[in-house]
Structure 1
Amino acid sequence: MSNYSWTSIKEYEDIRFEYFEGIAKITICRPKVLNAFRPETNIEMIDAMDIAREMNEVGVVVLTGDGDVAFCSGGDQNVKGVGGYIGKDGIPRLNVLDLQKRIRSLPKPVIAMVNGYAIGGGHVLHVVCDLTIAAEHAKFGQTGPKV
């Protein structure tokens, strides 16, 4: 999908939001932390989902991660606090749940393009999408105890 002439829909800090011939593409752009999300990332993705929902020319939304190492490694542990993930405003949040609900309620198909690791919250992110397309080197997993 990189050989197409994508048009930016809106500029964000943590994501790229682009359009091409009926496809809205949301790319998590935090490769230094394996595309882990923080509160701001989730807020941006929710906003992009809302815009895609209202765009008549969009028939499908593709969710992916920047680079070929990771789709998403879950929540950014560098900003994890006791009550959730700490945003720039200092307030702990678990707003990835709001993003997951937004994906499930979108009346257009959401396709996860998994191009590497999908771990923890990143694994859940692809599961709540309508369809997952995985690269041959994709790796899926959950954190927690191994039994």
Structure 2
Amino acid sequence: MEKLNLPSYPFRIKNNEKHYLIFDEVRKKYIVLTPEEWVRQHYIHFLLKEKNYPISLVAVEKQFTINNLKKRTDILVFSPEGTPNIIVECKAPHIKITQDTFDQIARYNLKLNANYLIVTNGLEHYYCKLDPDNETYVFLKEIPSYKI
């Protein structure tokens, strides 16, 4: 897999004759290793190891409903109170991040009301903080670390 603009981590990877699989620490199972999953697993580890978010607050492919359509977040980080705090939208490294990507995560956030949004393809990362007073997003240089 491609080297990403994230730290390297010691992933558990195996081959099951058809596919390579990567172990997801959050879901506690092996997942087919696609380019998007490669980015997602790196970003999960980044949140856990570099930003110190507890694994108990992290959900992967959390399902929710918008206008009777089932959607899933790539990564959803909750606050200690159980409310959505960070939504992460992961794309494969070869996928260019466009306005459509931001529109997708913004639609998700109309339902989830998270404080922060992250869009990444593993090479480029965009961080936004919700400004509820002005109903806008403010772009940040990085996402804050977990604070108790």
- TM-score > 0.5, shorter chain as reference: no
Higher RCO (CA < 8 A, seq sep 6+): 1
More helix by share: 1
State the TM-score, normalizing by the size of structure 2: 0.36
State the TM-score, normalizing by the size of structure 1: 0.36
More strand by share: 2
